[in-house]
Amino acid sequence: MGRRILLTGLDTFWGSRVAAALERDPGVDMLLGMGTGTPSTALERTEYVRADSSYSLLSRIVQATQVDTIVHTFLVVDSSSMSGRALHEINVIGTMNLLAAAGAAGSSVRHVVVKSSSLVYGCHPSDPAWFTEDTPRSRPPRSRLERSLTEVESYVRDFADENPGVTVSVLRFANVLGREITTPISRNLARGVMPSIAGFDPLIQFLAESDVVRCLETVVLESIGGTYNVAGDGRIPISEVAKIAGVWRLPISPFFTRQAAAPLIRLGLLDLPAELETLLRYGRGIDTTRLKAAGFEFSTTSAGAVERYAEIARLERVIGDEPRYRYDADVEAFFKHSPAVVRRVEG
């Protein structure tokens, strides 16, 4: 029997891309996506259920569909896009309900994959240069977003302890850059201005969009359990990022940074959530030795991810970022579904 997979956040970048990747695998029998909005990507055979953001009805859905795998991609890692309350609802309460459904008596779930973020390590001057999966945070989280993510991970850990029969994978992704995903950094780059804290030039890790999807796909299909850091090799100074992307650097005062940046944020000239501010001061490195030992190969390095992003941005400046008419995709769909096409029946 093939895999039966439930995916959260189908209407977000992560969920839709992972669903598209999983759809291609013949070993996946059923793919059920959940989300609060309308999925924007064209998907072939993924079922879609619209739910509220905290997944209160999830246990019934899990029971009815007998899924064996839950892929939780719907964790918000960008605090500038929503209020604190909504963030808490989605991240903490959503995960709690999800895990409650997965751990209910007689549950069919055997594998839970959670897409977390390297934000759980925080960012502090006393941090080590590289965090391994077992390195604790240097200081308790102070920002709303980091607090909610640490809470989520502690729920996941409890779940793993209580359900030893379930494979639990936690993936901590570094800053993702790519054509489709928007993050505080990519929003800044798109405006042509990269904020920086005057006198600081920290080393930051990046990850290409395609590696994110491939990593989630690999972990789901090969049932790799455990906690893994996911980031491109090496780190790159923020000044270099600005240079590669061809944007201006906007130095902000290292003292009273919040106050200095506030009017600019208000005017919509830059994005500087609390997590990005500390990152621009001290940087962060996460060690990916464990993931590589598990057999995953990255397609590019941190610097490569930035370069790839810059290439796409330059291209879009010329041709625009509207999705172009994809003639071949339409023809493919026609071949697959139209009654006009004579299909040979196999066997």
Partner 1 sequence: MEWDGIDNIPTSGGALLVANHAGAVPSDAPMIMHGIETELGRPVYGLADNFFRTIPLVGTGWSRTGGVPAHPDNAHRILHDHQELALVFPEGIKGPSKLVSERYQLRRFGRGGFVETAMRAGVPVVPIAVVGAEESMPILFRLPTAAKALKLPYLPVTANHLLFGPVLGSVLYLPAKFRFRVLEPVHFDVAPKLGKYPRGRIMEEAEAIRQRLQEALFDMLAHRRSIWFG
**Residue ranges that bind partner 1, judged by CB under 8 A:** 125-130, 132, 135, 197-203, 254, 281-282
Q: Which is nearer to partner 1, 48 or 200 (CB)?
A: 200
Give least dist CB 64 to partner 1, A. Answer: 47
Give least dist CB 70 to partner 1, A. Answer: 33
Here the tokens at position 318 are 């010329």
Kind of pairing between the strands at 236-237 and 203-204: antiparallel
Q: Which is nearer to partner 1, 128 or 246 (CB)?
A: 128
The answer to whether 204 touches 284, Cβ cutoff 8 Å, is: yes
Residue with tokens 């993050």: 183
Which candidate, 213, 212, 191, 200, places its Cα nearest to that of 276? 200
CA distance 231 to 133: 12
Give least dist CB 129 to partner 1, A. Answer: 5
CA distance 135 to 160: 19
CA distance 97 to 18: 22
Residue with tokens 């992560």: 14
Q: Which is nearer to partner 1, 134 or 328 (CB)?
A: 134
Give least dist CB 331 to partner 1, A. Answer: 53
Give least dist CB 287 to partner 1, A. Answer: 9
Angle at 60 between CA 58 and CA 62, to 5 degrees: 70
Q: Which is nearer to partner 1, 134 or 322 (CB)?
A: 134
Q: Which is nearer to partner 1, 283 or 304 (CB)?
A: 283
